[in-house]
Every structure is written in C-alpha cells, then in structure tokens.
Amino acid sequence: MFTQIFKHSKSKGKLLLFILFLFFYTKTYSQQFYAATSAGQLQLVTLTANGLVSETVPGCYSYFSIAIFTNKIYFSDAYGHLFSGNLTGSPVSVTNCQLISTGVYANSMTVDKQGVIYYAIYNQLYMIDPNSPSPVPVFLGSMPYSATGDLAFFQNELYMASDRGIVQVKLKAPSNSTLYIPYTGQTIYGLTNVAVNGKDILFALSLSGNSTNLIELDMQNKIVKGNAGSLPYIVYDAGSVTEAGEVPSIEITDTRITQECDIFNKARVEIITKQHTGKYTFTLGNGQTNLTGIFDNLAPGVHPLTITSDGEEFPKHTSFTVPDFTLTAPFITPSLKNPICDILGEIKLDAGVNNSTYTIKYNGNLFSFDHTFSGLTAGAYHFIILNAQGCIVNEKDYTLQQDVCPPITVNDVQVARECDVFGKAKVTVTTQPHPDNYTYTLNNISNATGIFDLVPPGAYNLVIISSGGDRVERPVIVPDYALDIPNITYAVKNADCTLFGEIKFMIYGDTKGATSIRYGSQVYPIDQAIKTLPPGANSFSVFNQQGCVIDIINVDVALDPCKPIVFPNAFTPNGDGINDIFRSNQDANPLKFQLLIYNRWGALIFKSQSIFKGWDGSFNGKPLPFGVFYWMASYTMIDGKDVAQSGYVTLIK
C-alpha cells in the first residue's frame, strides 16, 4: 500500500503526507481535528450530528505531513523541509512559520508528550527534537512493515498505518514491530486520536476514491468498529493535540482580581487559562458570558464560573471570590526624620505586609513603599496612597520641624604604635554621635573618618570642622617608638666560601614583649638560629606577641675567603728547616682530609688524615733515597664540596 501512495504522489509531482489535529468534546460539545489534503491544504474538520464539516485553515506553504503539539503545528513538504507554526486566533490560522530542519523525507509523522517528532519513510523510523539548538534526524531502525501515511501514540504506545493494517511500533527495537490490527482491502493514510467523554479513541483515515472515510478503531479488542463519517477530499495526514496520547483539559493558570478604580468596592476579574487552540466561553453564575474571561464591576462575594470550549476539552466548573476592599485599606506607619544642622529631613511610609501592594503619589510622581523621600526642609507634606490599579485608597499629611544642631564633642584621641610599620603611629579620634558631617585634619591630612595611619613622631594640632558650622582643636603627641625597643644582642657567623652565614639573637634586660624575628618571608622564634644569610646587608624585624613590629635590626654578614689546597712537586728532607716536609699549604681549612703516598711499585708508604701532618721522606723510620713518588689527596671543603687530587712529587737529596 506504501508503493501505491508513493506512485500516487509521484504522479502529482511530490509526495504529500498528512497529520490530523483532533479536538473532541463529550455529549453536545463539538469534536474537531486538522487534516492535510492531497492539494497541500490544511483543513479544520468538525464532527457534528449531521456529519463532518470542513473549513480551510489559512497559513504557510504546502502541508504534506503534520503533527500537533499543544498550539504548535509541525509540517513537512515533499522536498524534505520540516517547518513549525503556531495555531492562533478564531477562526484559527497558522502563523509564525519557520524552517526547523532539512532532509526530513517523511510520509508519516507524529509527536510525543515531550514534543519530540517521530516520522517514517518506507520501513525506516526516525526521530528529531525540534527544541534542540540544531535539530537533526536520528535513525532509530528499520521495521518489517512500510508506512502508508501516519503515526500516532495511543496509551503510551506508537502505532503506524501500513499497507497491511495498524502496526504497533517498538521504539527501542523497530525491527520487532508487530501487526496490531490487520486491515486489508482499503488504503489507510491517516491515524488520529479523539477524546470522547474523557477517553482517548484512535481513528484511521481510509482512502475511498477521491474521498476519505473516518474509521473508528477498537484498540482494546484489536478490531475495526465502523465508519464515523466521510470527507470530500483525499487526506494525506492528520493530527490532534491528543496524538501524543494525552487528553487535553481546560486549565486555569491564574485568576487576577483587581479593585475597580472609578467604582467603589467593585472588582475587575481576569481568568487566565493555559494556551489553547479552541474557542473558550466564560460564563458567570449571574449569566454574564464572554469569550475573553474578563469581567468588570463585580461585587464582593463568591462567583460561580463555567468555561466551555469548542474543542475537545470538558467544561470546567469552578468559582472565585471577590474580596470586600473596604476591609483591606492599608494602615500606614510614617517614619519622620526632621532636618538638623545642614542635613535635610526624610519621610518614609510603611504599609507593612502590603508594601508591595500599594504605591505612593507625591508631587505628581509615583513611588514604591521602599522609597525614602529625602532632601526635605521643614514644612508640611501631602501623600496619596494608590493600589496596584492606580486607585486612591488613602491620603496622608505630615509636618517636619527644624531640629537644633549639636556641638562637636570629642570623646577620645587614641595614639597607638603601628603594627606593620616600625616607628610610626595610628591616631584614632572618636566623637559623640552626630547627624552632620565632620572633617578631621592632622599633619596636613584631612578625612571624614578621624583615623590617621603612619603618623611619624611629633607634636600635632588636630582640627575638627562640622558641616553644621562648629570647629574644635586638640593637641596630639605621637611618641618616638624607635626609643622604646627591646634589649637584643646577636652573634653572627660569617659566610665562608659558598657557605651562607647565620645569626642568633639573644634577649637581655627588658624584652618589651619581643617574641619572634622575621627575616624575608619567614618568622622564627627569637632564640632560634637563622641560617642561609647571604654576604652583605641583612634586615630583621622584631615582633611582639600581637604580631606588631617593635624594632628593625640591620646586620652586615662578612664573607670569609675560600682558600684552595695545593701541593708542591718536590721537597728536600735534609734537615735544614726549609721544605723538609711534603704537605699542602697550611692556610686552608678542609674537612675529612686524607693524604696517601705510594712508591713507584704502588706500595703505600705514607698516610695522613691532617692537613698539618706531612711526609718527611722516610719509610718505617728510615730515610728514602732520591726518587719520584705518587700521591693522592681527598677532602671536603667547608662549603660541603668533595675534592680529589693526585700527582707526583720528587724527593731530592
């Protein structure tokens, strides 16, 4: 049957698919769905007691396959383009059409509860998520049956119209799809869901010449029940908001009740519903009815409300309550701040928990209740209280008086040693609380805080001037903290060769609270030796227990020269006191020294472990004759470097 559809569409120059969008109501309420025709049109079909009634839906492009998700329609053309549009207005039309993707060649299409599109071509099943940033088709697998025109969900299962009947599609394993309702002899192009008395019913659309029959399917018993009507055109695809397997309902998202501005103690009520494609009728218990859900001039009390739809939703019965606005007039608490000195006054109004409900009108401008009216001189002020609709609910008058400015009163002037900088002080001035602004000046530096850092020793004049016109002066003495330092001495070990120097501090007498020494970025206990001192000037900071610098000590570390060890190449052990002993220079200071001397046959004849003990030219207490001897020396220098030397020495007689 799929081959028949393909050939039929090819003779028209393109393959047209269909989606049926179906809205049903129970009992006397109308039932509707959308159908894509072989002419590329979108039709709104209404099921009435007199049969099926169809009207053309204006919109975009040409409709081939369609799927409905809430108020959105997805549709493809014969060239693999997938579009989306919005179902809006009454009568309904398709607006805001946009291209979603290309390469979507489909002769059947539907959508699930999450808005994901499924479509088939031949026996191949695909899916595409139109809400992803870049929608692309995803191949799900091949089925043992070919699609002839449509897909639809029913009770969370996916079904497909094929040339052999209705197929139950296995989404996780399309190759395991099975024939659910055999149906031969007629070509099924479409499937659609219809909500009847709150129950989801699946219908098939069967081709009959140049018309299409609407066939009811009994999915529970897996049989065809019968013909529900006929359309005078060929339907290629159909869809409804229930094709994802859910029956829609009327949902109220908000009920907005606002006080009428020009009529006392009456309300305006707006009923806000979830977005829908059908036409809603709103009816109050007093008989008022409209299509907007907006009712004006309603008195306080309970109002029954019925909402009906020309779509498939059940009528909704509910009620809302209009409050008595005379009971909710706001209680206003004022906060007044009189002008004082050169500081202008302020007024702030508080409506308590109703602050967000009302606004204030002052001098023709609107303000929220979190606003503070500042910059006010002494005098009378008038405020108008408005509700959220801009209606007057209260008026208030308040008067501000000019208060007397207090004089400057100095409570304390504290002078303290700077913690981080040696020899400097921190001066803190505190005064009595005051409404105006103070300017503090000390040592030619002015600020508004009264706190002065890094003040050197000396005598100063503190000046305080208020913005209200007062002036006060106070003498301030900053002591020389460099004269109040701990008694500390130290011992220095100079650097030697490449070995760094070290220092150790010692306290005697008055410690002034000294506890630690900082050198570089490291802090040491005051009695701990500090090593790795390079030659030259080194600076040390002395800290007390509070971590404050109480002294700076600068120390020069000297560098002792590094003397190399050298040996002579000859010596004359003749007892004349000159060059009688073979040994190295005596002004070096190696560690772990060893000297070995061998004769020409490699026999060890002398050994010494002191730089000061050399060879006198004898062996076993007897002088040796003229000759050349081999020596080896190994030692460690004071900087830790290991050295090995060797050579020849001539014994001369």
Q: What is the pLDDT of residues 118-127, one digit of tens each?
A: 999 999 999 9
Separation CA 126–CA 101 (nearest Å): 13
C-alpha separations of 475 from 408, 413, 416 in Å: 16, 10, 15
- The amino acid present at 604, given as its one-letter code, is L
Residue 21 sits in the same domain as residue 169? yes
Separation CA 377–CA 233 (nearest Å): 82
Q: Which of 614, 609, 581, 611 is nearest to 594 (CA)?
A: 609
Residue 533 forms part of a structural domain? yes
E runs forming strands in 377-421: 379-386, 392-400, 410-417
E runs forming strands in 114-172: 117-121, 124-128, 138-142, 147-154, 157-162, 165-169
> According to the model, what pLDDT value does residue 468 have?
87
Instruction: Provide the CATH number for the domain around residue 541.
Output: 2.60.40
> What would the DSSP string read from start to end of 89-124?
TTTTEEEEEEEEES----SEEEE-TTS-EEEEETTE
Low-confidence ranges of the chain (pLDDT < 70): 1-30, 196-198, 245-247, 277, 311-312
Q: What angle do CA 4, 5, 10 make, to 5 degrees?
A: 100
Residue 389 forms part of a structural domain? yes
> According to the model, what pLDDT value does residue 119 have?
95
Residue 565 forms part of a structural domain? no
Number of domains present in the structure of the chain: 6
Residue 180 sits in the same domain as residue 89? yes
Residue 143 sits in the same domain as residue 27? yes
- Enclosing H/E stretch for 375: strand 373-376
Note whether 61 and 233 are within 8 A (CB).
no
A 10 A CB-CB count for 408 gives 16
pLDDT digits 0-9 by tens, 480-536: 988 889 999 999 988 877 778 899 999 888 888 899 999 999 999 998 999 989 999
Residue 321 sits in the same domain as residue 188? no
Residue 523 sits in the same domain as residue 553? yes
Confirm whether pTM is higher than 0.85.
Answer: no
Instruction: Provide the CATH number for the domain around residue 452.
Output: 2.60.40.1080
**Domain end (from 337, 365, 400):** 400
- Enclosing H/E stretch for 3: helix 2-10
Residue 472 forms part of a structural domain? yes
Residue 178 forms part of a structural domain? yes
Note whether 419 and 549 are within 8 A (CB).
yes
Residue 223 sits in the same domain as residue 341? no
Q: 3-class SS at 352?
A: helix
Residue 502 forms part of a structural domain? yes
Tell me the two tokens of residue 5: 């559809």
Residue 203 sits in the same domain as residue 122? yes
Residue 342 sits in the same domain as residue 319? no
Residue 141 sits in the same domain as residue 272? no
Separation CA 145–CA 162 (nearest Å): 7
- How far is residue 197 CA from its own chain's centroid? 47
Residue 59 sits in the same domain as residue 70? yes
- Enclosing H/E stretch for 558: none
Tell me the two tokens of residue 15: 């393959």
Instruction: Provide the CATH number for the domain around residue 157.
Output: 2.120.10.30
Residue 136 sits in the same domain as residue 18? yes
Residue 517 sits in the same domain as residue 595? no
**Domain end (from 289, 307, 326):** 326
Question: Hey, which residues does 472 pair with through a beta bridge?
Answer: 464
Residue with tokens 């218990």: 285
> Which phi and psi angles does 354 have, rounded to 5°?
-95, 10
Note whether 245 and 156 are within 8 A (CB).
yes
Note whether 130 and 117 are within 8 A (CB).
yes
Note whether 243 and 161 are within 8 A (CB).
no
C-alpha separations of 151 from 31, 296, 435 in Å: 20, 46, 78
Q: Which domain holds residue 589?
A: 570-651
**Domain end (from 346, 377, 400):** 400
C-alpha separations of 288 from 170, 284, 285, 307 in Å: 51, 5, 7, 12
Residue 638 forms part of a structural domain? yes
Residue 97 forms part of a structural domain? yes
> According to the model, what pLDDT value does residue 54 have?
93
Q: Which of 249, 247, 246 is nearest to 316 (CA)?
A: 249
- The amino acid present at 243, given as its one-letter code, is E
DSSP strand pairing (559-560 vs 495-496): parallel
